[in-house]
Amino acid sequence: MNNFKNIFALCILSVLSYACGGSDTTPIEVFDNEAQALIDKDSLSSFFTKHYYDTTVDSVKTLVAGATPLSEDANLKTMNVTENEIDYELYYYIASVEDIGTPTIDKGFPTSLDSIFVKYEGFRINGTDSITPRFEIRETPIWFTLNSVIRGWSYGFTNFKNGDNVTDNGPITFENGGKGILFIPSGLAYGNSGTGGSIRSNENLIFYIRLFDFVKDTDHDNDGIPSWLEDPDGDGDPRNDDTNGDFFVNYLDGDDDGDGVATKDEDANGDGNPANDFSDPNNPTLADYLNPDIN
């Protein structure tokens, strides 16, 4: 225990010595993410004037005479996103190809926390002018959960629909579903740090995506409340809610109020939904699973 304390004291000391560094040390530069967001917005806007979507090869290409630039293409949509108090514009293109129809079982659209089943290809945009060779491809579909990927994906995929699973004793096969392109500013991708690998700092990215399926109302902690609804402060972001302050946000916490009774068991009326049980006469609008006085 003493060793542990010493290590802790040392850490405090080193943190302080950094913080108190004199003028002879190089100041730690804080990267200006807000300025970069504006640079990226300009870069992408310029890119869209110089490129078009070529339906014959299903790709973004350098503009040629007679083609409609992406900047004037009605299929290119803008999604406004605020992340860490910085406003971003995320762009997505709904590919208008014949093989994409409405799914038989239409689940609507995934939330930014749902699990998705996708294929994709990723490209970097080099400045405003060129698309670099592909850095990643996934040809067999794979599951991701949108809470743990780059934010451009988390938000971007919420604009695409599921497909139909038509697998028949063969390889997994889907029809219909979401098909399109995400144009992601660096701040919603790998930011100033890049990946240390193929993606450098402050690079905007292009992903060609197919969304085959998703788990509607994904419930990460299996507590009976869909992750996107574990948002007691109601700001639309379940990533900032930690009712009992145990550093596990509610959507990843099976006992949200820390009263020792699992959230799924704070279901007085037994309907499988802990969000509609209010047993505390002194606090009649606070659900039991968020109320440590009720257990």
Contact between 246 and Ca ion by CB under 5 A: the answer reads: no
Site for Ca ion in 162-221 (CB under 5 A): 221
Out of 113, 158, 253, 262, the only residue in the binding site for Ca ion (CB under 5 A) is 253
Size of site (CB under 5 A) for Ca ion: 23
Out of 43, 250, 262, 264, the only residue in the binding site for Ca ion (CB under 5 A) is 250
Q: Is the CB of residue 113 less than 8 Å from the CB of residue 228? A: yes
Contact between 237 and Ca ion by CB under 5 A: the answer reads: yes
Site for Ca ion in 268-287 (CB under 5 A): 269, 271, 273, 276-277
Q: How far is the CB of 200 from Ca ion (least distance, A)?
A: 33
Q: Which is nearer to Ca ion, 81 or 294 (CB)?
A: 294
Contact between 40 and Ca ion by CB under 5 A: the answer reads: no
Out of 231, 249, 262, 287, the only residue in the binding site for Ca ion (CB under 5 A) is 231
List contacts with Ca ion (CB under 5 A).
Answer: 221, 223, 231, 233, 235, 237, 240-241, 250, 253, 256-257, 259, 267, 269, 271, 273, 276-277, 288, 291, 294-295
